[in-house]
Chain A
Amino acid sequence: MIKKIFLTFIFTISLCVLAVADTTDQKWMIKVELTKTGTHCIDDKNCFNRYHPNIPPAANANPGDMIILHTRDALDTGFRLDSTADDLATVDLGLVHPMTGPVYINGAKRGDALEVELIDIAPDEYGYTVIVPGFGFLRDVFPDPYIVNWRLTRIGAVSDGMPGITVPYEAFPGSIGVLPGEPEIKKWKAREAELAGAGGVALTPSPGGALPASVCGENGSDTDDCLRTIPPRENGGNMDVQQQQIGTKIIFPCFIDGCGLFAGDIHYAQGDGEVSGTAIEMGSVLTVRVKILPGKGKGMDMPVTVGNDQIIDMEPTRYYQTLGIPLKEKGEIPPSHAYLNSNKFVHLANVSEDLTISARHALLQMIDYLVAEHGLTKEQAYILCSVAVDLRVGQVVDVPNFIVSAVLNMDVFDKYRN
C-alpha cells in the first residue's frame, strides 16, 4: 500500500515537472490590458466616444509594453447573429464610436511622434455589415436599412445572408489614434464650422450619448469642445485604411503629453472605400506596442503607415475590375455634390477631373455585375462591395476623364470556403 502511494506521488510530481517544462510558463512581455466591463460603452470606465485632451487616461504604459485593448463594435449596438433590419432603426447614433483608452504613454511629450506597431487582432465570433439610411457612398440609391450578420473565424467570414461567399480575414483598426490638444480642438472646430456654413458635411460637437459624460456630456466640463469621432483628422481616428494590417506601424504626431493612445471600431475586413458605410464590424482584442520618436511629431501633417509585405498579402489572386470615368445623368446631383448647389454641374453628363463621380460610376457597374452574374440582390452586392471591393485611382491626368476602378476580390467566391 505504501509503495502504491509512493509511486502515485512520484507520478504526480513527474507530471508537474513536465508541465513546468512546457514553453507556456516562459514570459517576457509586460502587459497593460484594458478590458471591457458592462454591455455598452456607458458601462465601461475604459471606453469613451468623443475626443478631448481632458479625457482622463484609463491606463499608463511604457514604450515596449504590450498594450492590449478590448474593443467594441463601431456602433456600440449589441447586434446578434439573428439581427434584422428592424434592429437597425434602434441604433443610437450618439454612441458612435466607442473607443478603448486613452493610454498615457510614459515619457511622450507634445511634439513627439508615436510609432504604434500592430501586433495582433483577435476577432470576436460575430460581426455585421449594415446599410444605414442616409449614410454611405450610394446613400441616394440605397435608402433603406439592411444588415448582414457574419460568423467569424481567422480563416474567413461567412453569412447565411451572403450564401457562397467567404471573406478573407484581413483585420485592422478602423479607428486608432491619439488625443488632440487644445490648439487642435480650436483649429479643427473652426474649419469644420466653416465647412458646415458652406453647406458641407461636418459634425459639430453633440452631447447626446457623449462619453465620458463628465467631460463631454450635457453638463460636462468641455461639452462644446468634444469632437465627434466620425471624421479622421491629423490625430488619426476613424481612418478606415485597410492597409494598416497586423505587422505594420502607424506613426502619429503627439498633441498632448502622454499622447492619449486609443483604438476601437476594429474591422474584420473592408474594401478600399467601405462604400456602404460599414466594413465587417466587430469587437476584438487588439495588441499594440509603441515607441516614442522624440520631436518627430512637429513636422507631421497626418499619420503615416510603414509596412512590408502586408500590402501584397492582401492582394486577390483573381479579380474582376470595372472602370469609372466622371459620367452621370444630366440633371443628376449625387449627394456628395449637393452642397455645391451648382447649376453648371447639374446640367452636365460628363464632369471634369472628378474622382468621386468616377468612383460612383465604377461602383454602380460593379453592383450591376454582381447582380447579373452572381445572382446577388442589389443590397447584397452593395454590402459585398463594402467588404471586398477596392476602389482604386487609375490615373489623374487624362483630362477630363480621371479613372477610378473597382476591383472585386474573386477569392470570395472560391477560397477559404467553410
Chain B
Amino acid sequence: MFGRLFILRLASILFVYILITSHSPWGQYHAYRQQHLLIMSTREDAPTYPFSKQLVEVINQELPEASARPARARTFKRVQSLISTGQIPLLLLSKKNARALIQGIGPFKKFGKTKSFVIYNFGDLVLLAEPNFPNRHAWQLTKVFMDPVSKSIGAKSPLKTRQVTDIHEGTMMALNGESIPELNEKK
C-alpha cells in the first residue's frame, strides 16, 4: 500500500536526515524513531500500552513498510514533551486524557494546551497525531483502520463518534474517499 515511490521518498528523507544529524551519535537514534512508526502509550494511562501492541500488530500486518513499534512513556509529562516536540508522531490515550492533553487541563495542566489531531477511535481510546504528521501517512493508517480486519480491535470511524479534537486532514481525505495525497503536500 505504501508503494515503491513512497519507499524511495522515505529512504531519501532518511538519508538526508542522517546526513544532517550525523555529527551526533543521537542522530541515528532519531533516525531509528523515523524508521519505525512509533505508537506512544504511557504507564499513567494503563490500557494504552497493551492496546498499542495490538494496534502495532494490525498496522504491521497491513502496512509492513511502516515497521510500527510500541513506545511506552513513564509519565504524562514525557508524553507531552515527546508529542509536542514531534519526537514521536503518534499517541494513544483514553479520551479523557486526550481531552486533557489538548485543553491543557488535568494531568497536563502545567504544560498548557498541546495541538494534535485525531486519526481514529478504538472504544474509549483515541489515536492522536502530532500536528506535522503527514497527510499521506494519516491517509494510509486510516485506510488500515477502515479495513474490516480492524474491527477486531474495535476501530470506529471518527466521523461516527464525538471527537475530543479536530480530525487529521489526511484521515478526512481517506474517509471522504479521496486519493492518497503526496508526501510533500501540506503537512
Contact = CB atoms under 8 A, between A and B. Distances in A.
Interface of A: 39-40, 77-80, 84, 86-87, 89-90, 92-93, 132-135, 139, 143, 145, 196, 199-204, 208-209, 230, 339
A133 B28 contact: yes
A86 B87 contact: no
Interface of B: 22-33, 36, 38, 40, 49, 69-75, 77-78, 81-82, 85, 87-88
B26 A93 contact: yes
Given A87-B72, A90-B72, A201-B24, A143 B85 contact: no
Contacts of B30: 134
Contacts of A200: 23
A84 B26 contact: no
A204 B21 CA distance: 11
Given A89-B88, A134-B29, A196 B72 contact: no
A38 to B, nearest CB: 10
24 contacts: A39-B75, A40-B77, A86-B49, A86-B70, A89-B38, A89-B40, A89-B88, A90-B72, A90-B74, A90-B82, A92-B81, A92-B82, A93-B26, A132-B29, A133-B29, A134-B25, A134-B26, A134-B28, A134-B31, A135-B26, A143-B32, A201-B25, A202-B23, A230-B25
A78 B75 contact: yes
A99 B69 CA distance: 32
A89 B36 CA distance: 10
Contacts of A201: 23-25
A204 B24 CA distance: 8
Contacts of B75: 39, 78
Contacts of A77: 74
Contact of A92 (B22, B49, B78): B78
Nearest to A78: B74
A202 B49 CA distance: 35
A208 B21 CA distance: 15
A196 B88 CA distance: 26
A230 B25 CA distance: 10
Contacts of B32: 89, 133-134, 143, 145
Contacts of A208: 85
Residue among A87, A139, A204 facing the most chain B CB atoms (10 A cut-off):
A87
B7 to A, nearest CB: 18
Nearest to B52: A86
Contacts of B29: 93, 132-135
Nearest to B40: A90
A339 B85 CA distance: 29
B43 to A, nearest CB: 8
Contacts of A39: 75, 77
A87 to B, nearest CB: 5
Nearest to B18: A134
A135 B25 contact: yes
A337 B7 CA distance: 28
Contacts of A132: 29
Nearest to B38: A89
Contacts of B77: 39-40
Nearest to A203: B24
A29 to B, nearest CB: 36
Given A78-B74, A92-B82, A134-B31, A86 B69 contact: yes
Nearest to A144: B32
Given A135-B29, A201-B23, 9 more contacts: A39-B75, A87-B73, A89-B33, A89-B72, A90-B82, A92-B87, A201-B25, A203-B23, A204-B23
